[in-house]
Amino acid sequence: MTKKAFIFDLDGVIVDTAKYHFLAWKKLAATIGVDFTKQQNEQLKGVSRVKSLEKILAWGNKTITEAEFANLMALKNTDYLTYIDKMDEQEILPDVAKTLDFLRDKKQHIALGSASKNARMILEKVNILEKFDIIVDGNDVTKGKPDPEVFLKAAEHLNVPNEHCVVFEDAVAGIQAANNAGMISIGIGEKDILHEADYVFTDFTEIDIDFLNELISR
Ligand code: BG6
Ligand code: MG
């Protein structure tokens, strides 16, 4: 049996950091006189920091200089990191650690595939960095999801064929990236939103051992 690679997105799959991204973007948007709603925040899931700011500026009809853009990016991240700094193991979403441990026990490859440049720091904060064989994050890619680059890099590093990779994702762009890579896509969230995924579960408490065993032995 070939060893599979299980690739986890970070934000919205392992931890609920969308609420911190929201607070930081909202504060930043207010400083430039742009109103930013929870609905708009939904559209930033899986989207890189640069692309997120571009979207916020477009929603607010704002044009700024390159220097201002760089400054706003830095401000947002500094504020975001004040929330990250307070994170600990309690913030790991239900049954995520249990799933990682089960896959480890079954000697499967475990990877992180995230758009975030803060991924390593967050994994360290919640104390699960050592559960991953490899981390591919926003520092390693030039193309954001739905481009498959982040997942393809993880598969390549682990030397696992794409069709033997399973991706857990909460963002539509992330599911599309997994599908574009020819990998098995598992949506974590709402069925209506993540309908392009091969499977969808509300959260990891819904994923049972039989299903994981079936993925491993396929
Ligand atoms: C993704 C999040 O995982 O990472 C996005 O879903 C975020 O909301 C992106 O913008 C980049 O994160 P960071 O930590 O590099 O600003
Ligand atoms: Mg996500």
Q: Which of 9, 11, 56 to mutate to test the pocket of ligand 1 (most atoms within 8 A of CB)?
A: 11
- Mean pLDDT, range 5-26, rounded to an integer: 97
Task: Quote the ligand 2 centre to 18 CA distance (angstroms).
Answer: 8
Residues 131-150: pLDDT tens digits?
999 999 999 999 999 999 99
- Report the pLDDT value the prediction gives residue 122, as an integer from 0 to 100: 98
Distance of CA 132 to the CA centre of its chain: 14
Residue nearest to atom 2 of ligand 1 (CA): 46
Q: Which residues are catalytic?
A: 9, 11
- Report the pLDDT value the prediction gives residue 2, as an integer from 0 to 100: 77
Which ranges constitute the DSSP H helices of the chain?
Answer: 18-31, 38-42, 49-59, 66-84, 96-105, 119-125, 149-158, 172-180, 209-217
Q: How does DSSP assign 80-91, residue by residue?
A: HHHHHTT--GGG
Confidence of residue 90 (pLDDT cuts 50, 70, 90): very high
Residues 34-43: pLDDT tens digits?
999 989 998 9
Task: Quote the ligand 2 centre to 92 CA distance (angstroms).
Answer: 14
pTM of the full structure = 0.96
Are 115 and 138 in contact by the 8 Å Cβ rule? The answer is yes
Longest dimension (CA), the chain: 57
The residues with which 5 forms a beta bridge, in sequence order, are 109, 165
Q: Which of 8, 15, 116 to mutate to test the pocket of ligand 1 (most atoms within 8 A of CB)?
A: 116
Q: Is the CB of 11 under 6 A from ligand 1?
A: yes
Q: Is the CB of 113 under 6 A from ligand 1?
A: no
Q: Is the CB of 145 under 6 A from ligand 1?
A: no
Q: Is the CB of 115 under 6 A from ligand 1?
A: yes
Residues 97-129: pLDDT tens digits?
999 999 999 999 999 999 999 999 999 999 999
Are 116 and 107 in contact by the 8 Å Cβ rule? The answer is no
